[in-house]
Amino acid sequence: MRILLIEDDTVLGAAVRDQIAGDGQSVDWVTRLDAAGDAMAGAAYDLVLLDLMLPDGRGITFLRTLRARGDVTPVIILTALDQVSDRIDGLNAGADDYLVKPFDLSELSARIGSVARRYSGNPNPIISHGTLDIDLAARSISRDGRPVTLTAREWALFEALLSRPGQLLSKAQLEEKLYAFDAEVESNTIEVHVSRLRKKLGPHVIETERGMGYRLGKP
């Protein structure tokens, strides 16, 4: 997933960014709402982590604006506002989850995974695909009962395809998933990782539509 983190606390922001990156996700971190608007205008995000009190405005207003224009990107609110009324306002504004500071970073990872699975249409963290058994929460895969180790980049690409079964994803869309790992993604990066995934998971796990993109292979 590619995640946008909107948080002005530099200590917490760095900790959350490192946690997300350690989970194998791509993350862009901004500290202001105007920068968040620019980021969302220029990239497609799978999820937004939103603080409510920011230097140039309130996150709740930003969220209401997103929903009013039809943007359905999942949003998890991260805030020190812990009153029941604050939670109700956040959820009624269109948030998918609400996490009160201070929070455990492992809980944040779990909530990100839960929201992502709901949006992909499969809330169950354990799924099967052909000879593969996949634990989305633990980020682990076994093939014919034997564990398979994926790098963070390989997992990011496979997860992107897995979350959109049957859908063709362009090379550019897949490259977006890797921006957090390298400042610049080389021209053959996707081809290299697709080749490695096929060797590890099976030759037909990813289908290529030449000149168009890639999709998850049939089980």
CATH number for 22: 3.40.50.2300
> What is the reported pLDDT for 198?
95
Same domain, 162 and 112: no
Query: Containing H/E element for 2?
Result: strand 2-6
Q: Which domain holds residue 39?
A: 2-119
Identify whether the C-beta of residue 96 lies closer than 8 Å to the C-beta of residue 90.
no
Please give the DSSP secondary-structure letter assigned to residue 25. -
Same domain, 109 and 17: yes
Same domain, 115 and 8: yes
Same domain, 104 and 196: no
Short-list 39, 38, 11, CA closest to 26: 39
Same domain, 18 and 99: yes
Q: What are the pLDDT digits (tens) for 178-195?
A: 765 445 667 788 899 999
Q: What total number of domains does the chain contain?
A: 2
Q: What are the pLDDT digits (tens) for 116-168?
A: 877 766 556 678 888 999 887 778 899 999 999 998 888 888 988 887 888 89
CATH number for 171: 1.10.10.10
Same domain, 162 and 115: no
Final residue of a structural domain among 56, 88, 119? 119
What's 90-146 look like in SS3?
HHHCCCCEEEECCCCHHHHHHHHHHHHHHHCCCCCCEEEECCEEEECCCCEEEECCE
